[in-house]
Chains A and B, each alone.
Chain A
């Protein structure tokens, strides 16, 4: 089974975000970068599917500045992925279309495959777009927010929708699946795994090698701003009954949300 897993590196949630003086993006120095949490579920699922088949190849890939995203690719290889492809964006802003295009071209160069896994969204820009665009560019189906995969002749894929309801799809042939929390419990990289990962093959490409240029960009993020300061909290006083009464009054008369 040949599986591709697409990863993104994102700032750790605890990181303080600062804006560049020209407002063109965030200040990257001092940011701690981690693998997007949803992508961990994608890596884990790929490893499980490969091992259940008794063999195959799990290739992890990422678009981003080579110098740092390589770390997350090595982490995935330490978890058990077989090899990696880094598509170096060398500091250029890459939108969801460019990322999906680069990934699709890199996959096409590799030849036949069974499955592409991604996370359901990246927690930095919350775009949730790359898996679907990738599906379109590879001309194969996609399913997002995937909470269960049952592989057989065809694949049964569960997707979580409103109110905990689930849609169940039957997919035949290769497809792109975007992993949700709950799909599995990602393993930790073991120490021997980390040692082995250092020697696993890692291919390098540029955006140009993947046929991608900034002329293909469709959306550009600009004019970054910190959220406006919230007015200070209004603390209510009195016993439970008095606080409850006062809150209802404030919600109706001051905040006007009821």
Chain B
């Protein structure tokens, strides 16, 4: 039977949502599903992988893989893919996977399709599409001369199936690869936010120049907390130093595709839209009814954000925390 290899990522005790989406798609394809996990303690996630469809889980569980290292991770994952015999590899378009898989692809003399938003996988074929030119068009990425077809999917594009708590998987241990020493991971500096990263967030609340000041972002944080959302920003705001650049959404910031994107005081410049027009539902809050953002929005609220934001926080709290 044809096989599919799914690269999984987890945080704490859970697999990331993007990983669960891919396991669900893999299971539904009718292929044999082999999952791969790399990092110290990842063995604890293997049962979870089984619940969502993995029939075999490969683990490379070693202390020295605690920090990402492009060299050792490439070695580890290449070994897993080869061992699995899969001709299709799925991974989430995460910061780590986007760095890792093009190199894995080159080592396997194969191609990689990154940042895909549509995946059709069955027992024999894989078809993917991705946005191009900042979302102004899309195209199919066809694999040619590619023994292994590596697909990196944007998170939040596919459904997550019901877990089957009775399902179990075989696990197979892989040794930690030897490092050449040419590249060493020295340190990991924690970021300002412990929230889900923008690129993977299911709900984003973003503020633009209309927020007026750094202090006013507190209002968006309150709203985000009520929704379990991550806060983002326009470039105008990041450049003004009101928020760190890591929060910037757009062509020169993060590309995001949440289920819900709420924009406060953002005009909707093409470079901002480039980063978020893939969102499923877009809500625009702006005092200017002619702001371009309304052309991309699902729902539009015209008014002063300083009145609307607290009201929305109140209503979300009422609706979601009954």
Which residues of A pack against B, CB within 8 Å? 11, 13-17, 19, 26, 37-38, 95-97, 100, 123-133, 135-137, 140-145, 156, 158-173, 175, 181-182, 215-227, 230-231, 233-236, 240-241, 243-245, 247-248, 250-252, 255, 257-258
Contacts and interface: CB of A to CB of B under 8 A. Distances in A.
A26 B298 CA distance: 28
B199 A162 contact: yes
A244 to B, nearest CB: 4
A227 B311 contact: no
A257 B280 contact: yes
B195 A163 contact: yes
Interface in B104-135: 105-107, 110-115, 129-135
B189 A215 contact: no
Contact of B139 (A181, A221, A244): A221
A66 B138 CA distance: 26
A141 B67 CA distance: 16
Interface stretch (B25-33, B52-60, B161-169, B289-297): B289-297
B106 A97 contact: yes
A167 B142 contact: no
B171 interface: no
Interface residues of B, number: 100
Interface in B122-178: 129-146
B112 A166 contact: no
B185 A167 contact: yes
A189 B114 CA distance: 33
Contacts of B197: 162-163
A167 to B, nearest CB: 6
Interface stretch (B81-89, B211-219, B299-307): B299-307
A55 to B, nearest CB: 25
B245 interface: yes
B260 A251 contact: yes
A190 to B, nearest CB: 24
Q: Which of B102, B111, B143, B252 lies at the interface centre, i.e. has the most chain A CB atoms within 10 A of its CB?
A: B102
A223 B139 contact: yes
A225 B137 contact: yes
B181 A172 contact: yes
A80 to B, nearest CB: 22
A258 B320 contact: yes
A161 B95 contact: yes
Contact of A126 (B100, B114, B140, B295): B114
